[in-house]
Amino acid sequence: MSKRFAIGIDLGGTNLRVALVTGNGDVIKKVKEPISHDILESIFRLTEPLFSMDVEGIGLGVAGVIDRRNGKVLISPNLPAVEGINLVKEIRERFGVPVYLENDANCAALGEKWIGTGKEYPDFVLFTLGTGIGGGIIYANKLLNIAAEIGHMTIHADGEKCYCGNTGCLESYASARAILSRVVSALERGRESMLKEFHEGGFYKLGAEDIYRMALEGDNLARETLKDAGRHLGIGIASIINLVSPEAVILTGGLIGAWDIYIEEAIKEASRRAFKELFDRVKIIPSLLKDNAGVVGSVGLVFQKFA
Amino acid sequence: MSKRFAIGIDLGGTNLRVALVTGNGDVIKKVKEPISHDILESIFRLTEPLFSMDVEGIGLGVAGVIDRRNGKVLISPNLPAVEGINLVKEIRERFGVPVYLENDANCAALGEKWIGTGKEYPDFVLFTLGTGIGGGIIYANKLLNIAAEIGHMTIHADGEKCYCGNTGCLESYASARAILSRVVSALERGRESMLKEFHEGGFYKLGAEDIYRMALEGDNLARETLKDAGRHLGIGIASIINLVSPEAVILTGGLIGAWDIYIEEAIKEASRRAFKELFDRVKIIPSLLKDNAGVVGSVGLVFQKFA
């Protein structure tokens, strides 16, 4: 059988990823850039060089709530620019192949189910831990077609205002953006930390990796902030365990790079909070496909791996 | 076709309900009493007079996390006495018919799906609002076999200790027990209220109905407490809408008697918190079967209405 190809596009909170992927889920080529103002132009520009007559379709994962019937993004707190665009129609007209739209975290869950960590688990919940926090739920080997906006569960009833309009969302306490914003406020208030010297004092340019690196070097502010975010993630994981009682919680996204501080703290907190009988049977484990989970999963949609 | 019969048993947080139900879901006879120490004796005593050779099986709904494979109650924060008993085995041996075990809120969801408010909704979430708060999720016309412990989502990360061991659970702020405990503390602290005169000053005997009645008569403490509990329920409903994006949220249990204060407040709060696009399409509505939802749903299990 000749090889089959599709293109996967992952439009997360910060980065746009486009990849050429085979019918077996192998990523042949991948490009990535920070999301720009003109999202459609970026998508076209990155997709063009990967496209060929061999490409059977395009899968598209977008951070936000998806209207599957009409192929539209209903709302995207971290990516409001896409709300007005009919992405499916625009991309289909440009490339002349079928386009499949799904939530980005749902795509990542599908990718992990297809050829990743989730392969052996009929029931799991995937968390994407990046700029924002997203989720996807696999139940009886299939994706639940639900919003799964795990990042927008309230964990602090009277807490901080979230981008989505709610107050006290998990995402406002445990995401990369939350971590950065806490570090920056502390530095602005004059807190001593090695992070102050980063980027020649331009600490607004700090990234989550910088914070993790300094935490490893013993910086108190970096360490405390990561641990506190991890504790909050654990609260969200515990709620999800009590609700969904999955066999596995699979974690993906940039923040899992800080596993030994951030995730370990989350696991500790979840173990204190979830029903013991449910916590004892759940495995909390990293994604195998990592950054590729989204593009692979969206290509799975093209090849109808989950029909 | 001759009529078919089964017995439904609903073991909630406070009351034991036993009913003789037909294959169409009609409740022929029902008995109810507060749950006693010797749960098994109570179940036998109430079931005996309803049992006959025509009864094909017994459905059993219990507040707690169920191990479906082994027919056991893994954990029940509101009913710890059942954790040690193999209810399925005991009841089967006593009556000699098949016994089906499910979580009580899941049973109520099944009942509503079968012949209640949920009949026309392929996807809905049911909340049981009583002593504790439970949940059941119907997805694509079937019950999700998950814990669905909605009452044990954390909504106040650093909040009050819950019976389950966690802190800040929805149930600790929005259940009947939470309402009563808040009223009693206020009265103990000397707060003026008509509730003080109830039961000849024995305000430990107050029930949620007393509080609702006095709220209607304009008592400030009663009104504030119900509204605050409703606000917290709304926080939980919003999280569930953002997670599950259901077509309907169906509410059942004693507290829906206070709809115009408690539930109205919950709906207002949920509308402020949930993603607008998801809130706009969800219907928040009362259960049709009310107190019978649990026994009817458990009988549905006997007749395999949901296979």
Under 8 Å between Cβ of B103 and B66:
yes
Distance of residue A16 Cα from the nearest chain B Cα, in angstroms: 24
Burial of A14 (0-12, 13-18, 19+ CB in 10 A): middle
Residue A2 pLDDT class (50, 70, 90 cuts): low
Closest-CA distance of chain A to residue B105, Å: 13
Which residues sit opposite B61 in a β-bridge? Answer: B10, B102
pLDDT of A203 above 90: no
- Facing B154 at nearest CB: one of A139, A149, A238: A238
- pLDDT over threshold 60, residue A20: yes
Mean pLDDT, residues A42-66 taken together: 97
CB distance A148–B238 less than 8 Å?
no
Question: Which pLDDT value is given to residue A83?
Answer: 86
Q: A156: distance to nearest CA of chain B, Å?
A: 5
Neighboring chain A residues of B232 at a CB cutoff of 8 Å? 157
pLDDT tens-digit series, residues B268-285: 999 999 999 999 999 999
Q: Give A242's contacts in chain B (Cβ within 8 Å).
A: 147, 149, 152-153
Tokens matching residue B170 = 């929805």
What crossing angle do the helices spanning B39-47 and B87-95 adopt, rounded to 10°?
A: 30
B242–A146 CB contact, under 8 Å: no
DSSP B259: I
Per the CB < 8 Å rule, is A243 touching B278?
no
Going by C-alpha positions, the residue among B138, B235, B274 that lies closest to residue A149 is: B274
Chain A interface test: which of B242, B247, B279, B282 (most A C-beta within 10 Å): B242
Within a 10 A sphere around the Cβ of A80, how many other Cβ atoms?
12
Query: pLDDT for A239-249, tens place per residue?
Result: 999 999 999 99
| Residue A27 touches partner B, C-beta closer than 8 Å | no
Task: Kindly state the tokens that stand for B31.
Answer: 């008995």
Average pLDDT, chain A: 95
Contact A16, A35 (CB under 8 A): yes
Report which DSSP code applies to A126. E
pLDDT of residue B70: 84
Residue B258 pLDDT: 97
Distances from the Cα of B42 to the Cα of B32, B48, B61, B66, angstroms: 10, 10, 15, 21
CB contact A271 to B (< 8 Å): no
Give me the pLDDT at residue B2, please.
61
The arithmetic mean of pLDDT across residues A99-125, rounded, is 97
Reply yes or no on whether the pLDDT at A307 is more than 80: no
B120–chain A Cβ distance below 8 A for any pair: no
Q: Which helix (H) or strand (E) holds A231?
A: helix A220-244
* Residue A199 pLDDT grade (very low, low, confident, very high; cuts 50, 70, 90): confident
Q: What is the C-alpha to C-alpha distance for residues A193 and A222, in angstroms, rounded to an integer?
A: 8
Work out the minimum CA distance from B222 to partner chain A, whole angstroms. 22
Set out the domains of chain B in order of their start, with CATH numbers: 5-111+291-302 (3.30.420.40), 117-287 (3.30.420.40)
B280 touches A at CB < 8 Å? no
pLDDT in tens, B44-55: 999 999 999 999
Is some CB atom of chain A closer than 8 A to the CB atom of B166? yes
DSSP B45-56: HHHGGG--TTEE
Q: Measured between beta carbons, which residues in chain A are less than 8 angstroms from residue B239?
A: 152-154, 239
By percentage, how much of chain A surpasses pLDDT 70?
99
> Is B164 in the A-facing interface, judged by CB distances under 8 Å?
yes
pLDDT in tens, B8-67: 999 988 899 999 999 999 999 999 999 998 999 999 999 999 999 999 999 999 999 998
pTM of the model: 0.96
Higher pLDDT, A80 or A159: A159
Eight-class DSSP state of A84 = G
Helices (H), chain B: 39-47, 87-95, 104-115, 171-174, 176-188, 208-216, 220-244, 264-273, 276-279, 293-302
Look up residue A261 and give its DSSP letter: I
| Interchain CB contact of B261 with A (< 8 Å) | no
Q: CB–CB of A147 and B75 under 8 A?
A: no
**What are A229's two structure tokens?**
């975010």
What average pLDDT does chain B have?
95
Residues pairing with B134 in the sheet: B128
**Which residue ranges in chain B fall short of pLDDT 50?**
none
Q: Is the model more confident about A70 or about A223? A: A223
Nearest to A238 among B65, B166, B232 (CB): B166
**Residue B219 touches partner A, C-beta closer than 8 Å:** no
Among the listed residues A259, A143, A167, A285, the one whose alpha carbon sits nearest the alpha carbon of residue B140 = A143
pLDDT of residue A73: 92
